Structure formats: C-alpha cells, structure tokens
Structure 1
C-alpha cells in the first residue's frame, strides 16, 4: 500500500532498495528527513513495503514501487507511476550485483547478467529519470536546476581484479554512462554524479556473509550507511557553481 500522493513534496526515486540496514534504506530515510516523498524500487516487495511503512511511521511520505529496473517494460511502468505520484527532483541508482568467478570459469551469461543489472539497469533508470525531470521543468524553489541523478559505483569501476571481472566491467560501464550523462545534461540543469564506494558497507548483507570481517575491521572500519547517505544528500544540495561529478568514499582504515 502506498502513501497518498502529495504534489507539494518533491519526489526522490531510489532504485536498489533492500534491507532496512542497507544503503538504499539509509538514502530513503535521509531524503525523507530532507522533506522528500520517497519512491522505493526493489525486487522484493515485502522489503520495500516494510521500509515504506517505517518512513510513514516516522512522519514521512513513502511509496513502495516493486519492479526490475533492468527490464524495459518494468521501468516504463515504474516511470508512469512516478509521474502519477508527483514531481521528480532526485533519482538514485543503487542497484547492483557482484558476480564472483575466475576469468576462465566466468560464463557469458554471468557477464551478461552483471551488465544487465549494473549498466543496462543504470541506463534505463537514468533515461527514465531524466525524461521525468525534463517534463517537470525547472524548480522555482531550487534555481540551481531541474534535479539530481546519482549513481552508486564501486572500486571495481576504477580497477578490475580477480575474481570480479564481470562486476568490474559492469561498474566501469556504469561510470562511463554517468560521465556521459553529466556532460550532456549538466548544462540543462541536471546534476549527475557517480559515487565510488571504496570499502565494505556495515549492513545486513556483509554482516550475514562475512561476520568475521565486520569484527576484524572494528569501530568505523566499515562504511556506515547513514554517513554515505549524508554525502548523497550533500551532492543533491550542492550549488551549481561547484558541482561534483565523482566522489569516492572509504573508511579511514581502508588502504587505497
């Protein structure tokens, strides 16, 4: 069930929302605190509805929009719902999957799936968000521009290493896509930025998959989702005379 439409609130559309302890959820909470109605997209309807309910209970406005942003039919349906809800002013692509396989064991299907989720998904989502922002026109209350489009990247976008050849190829493609969008649409008033997450995020996924790593890294040795979300918010509110196109985030203990 979704919150009733509130056309007075700007909309942030976040793709790649999963567990309440994940980055997508932290982004949703931060933008809700900033006065946005949040539209949540992920593949697991129960999870995004639970997060939407949490945001509503805290006094915010949230819409659960389950779907697959790497599928053209699904993204068209989601974009239509966004238009019904209100005025899109921010969009965040946070989807991704990290395929692990040595190069000689990696299959074409695995590579294609990595590209489908990360690069093609980012393209379809970004294209839909850009179209909605252009349809909305400029925001009189935010003279800096029409909106913000943010992409969650990874260290793999900058350098590939085994066993992440597929993931690296896909994230590098997403990074180039973000650069292309930024150069094409920046002059039109849309701030496009790519955020390199250089390190593990202290969230449900890592705590379940590698609890020993969480313990070894100690206090603030992993990226905190709320701290990452604050950076995304600051990118959104940046003045257009000093826009950031790419930023990297890492814990103080992380080598680079």
Structure 2
C-alpha cells in the first residue's frame, strides 16, 4: 500500500487571537500542517490543543537564532505568512525613538531574516508563497502613527523587492493591506457603539491570505487591499 503523502507545511508568525489564529485555522482546514510562531507560549499551546496538525513554537521573530531554531524543528515551509506586527500610537514629538526602532525590528528586519531563511528551499522546489499582512499605515503616514507607519511602509517596499526578485524564480510574494478595524475584543471595547459590519472579520482576512497563497501563476497579485463595504477610503 502506498504511503500517504505528508501534508505541506505552512508557517505563521504573530499568532494572536485575531488574524494570526484565523490564518492558522484556515490553512489547517486547507490540508496543511501549520507551525505557529509567537512569544506567548500559553496561547500557542491552547491553539495547538484546539486545532489539529498544528505545532506551537514560542519564538521572538526579531531574534535570527530563534528563527533558525524554530525552522529546524519543523522543516521547510511551502507557505509562510508574516503576520507579526509591532505597533504604537503617538506623534513624532511624543514617541520614544526606541519604540520606532523596535517596531522596525518586528515589521521589517524580521521579514528580511525570515525571507532569507525560508525562500532558498522554495526557490529550489520551484514553488512556494510568502504572504505579508499589512495595513493602511503601509500607504500613508498619519500624525499619530509616527512610530508605526514608517515601518509598515518600509515593510511593503521590502516585500515588493522580494516579489520582484523571487517571482521569476517561482516563489510568490504578496502584500495584503488590511484597511479596516479588525474584529477582536480590544477593538470592540474601543468602538463599543460600532455595528458588526464596521469591523473586518479575521476569518475573512484568513480566507484572502489562503487565496493569495494559491493563486495560479498566470495571475499572481502582489498588492491586495481588503476593507469592509462601509469603509471610507
């Protein structure tokens, strides 16, 4: 009897209770083993107990050695979703410059290190996808996002450089701009009077991530934007 083929591996960084967990669920439902990376070990353990074929790996993505150790545990992923994010609110007068530097490490440098580690195997296989989740700050800098928007804009440009380099080699890189308030408990508390359709559902974001990772080669997308139908843009 033929041995059943092993499920492909997806790796998701920044697995929190919103988008990250939803992406993990979508890929597990889609037939993948999913390696989950985040700093909160307890949260990852709870998700691993809930979602079949998942692997919990506590990891600080800004630490290249920790990324090496994480990948050594799981092998070469066919799909990588960089969802980890460092953010802060404040004008350039108010923010601690160290916060901007820290956010740059999470949003930009972690993506660079991740790409350098995972894409050589994808390139050798002639297939693979690296999907980066972004937001409106990747496209514009508002006054109170001085420690955040510059890092997301840099992240988008880095992802574009990766896409132009890796696309002709068979590796799909895409950047997903989430122009919306994500439906998680803390945003519900911040906007207590908002109707349900004010928010974007994490499961719907995850569906778009999964779609991007499986686009046919004749119609690859680099930059995609998603927003609720009522969102002003």
Instruction: Pick the TM interval, shorter chain.
Output: over 0.9
1:23-102 equivalences in 2 (<5 Å): 23-56=19-52, 61-83=53-75, 87-102=76-91
Q: Verify: 1:236 aligned to 2:213, yes or no.
A: yes
1:1-256 map, 5 Å: 8-19=6-17, 22-56=18-52, 61-83=53-75, 87-135=76-124, 137-138=125-126, 146-207=127-188, 211-213=189-191, 215-256=192-233
CA separation of 1:150 and 1:196: change in aligned 2, threshold 3 A: same
Residues 6-30 of structure 1 deviation map (CA, whole Å, 9 limit, x = unaligned): 97100000000022xx110000000
CA contact (8 A) 2:139 2:153 kept: yes
Q: What SS is found at the alignment partner of 1:220?
A: helix
Please, what TM-score do these two structures have when normalized by structure 1? 0.86
Secondary structure at the aligned position of 1:166 is classed as: coil
Cα distance in 1 for partners of 2:196, 2:107 equals: 30
* 8 Å contact kept, 2:97–2:147: no
Give the drift of 1:217: 2.5
In 2, the alpha carbon distance for the partners of 1:212 and 1:45 equals: 26
CA RMSD of aligned residues (A): 1.5
Distance apart, 1:70 and its partner CA: 1.0
How many residue pairs get matched? 230
> With structure 2 as the length reference, what TM-score do the two structures score?
0.94
Distance 1:17 1:88 in 2: 16
Shift of 1:126: 2.2
Checking the alignment, whether the CA contact within 8 Å between 2:86 and 2:104 is kept in structure 1 is no
Cα-to-partner distance string for 1:136-187 (whole Å, 9 max, x where unaligned): x14xxxxxxx111000111001000121111101000110011000000001
Alignment gaps of 5+ in structure 2: none
Q: How has the CA–CA distance of structure 1 residues 204 and 212 changed in structure 2, closer, same or farther, with 3 Å as cutoff?
A: closer
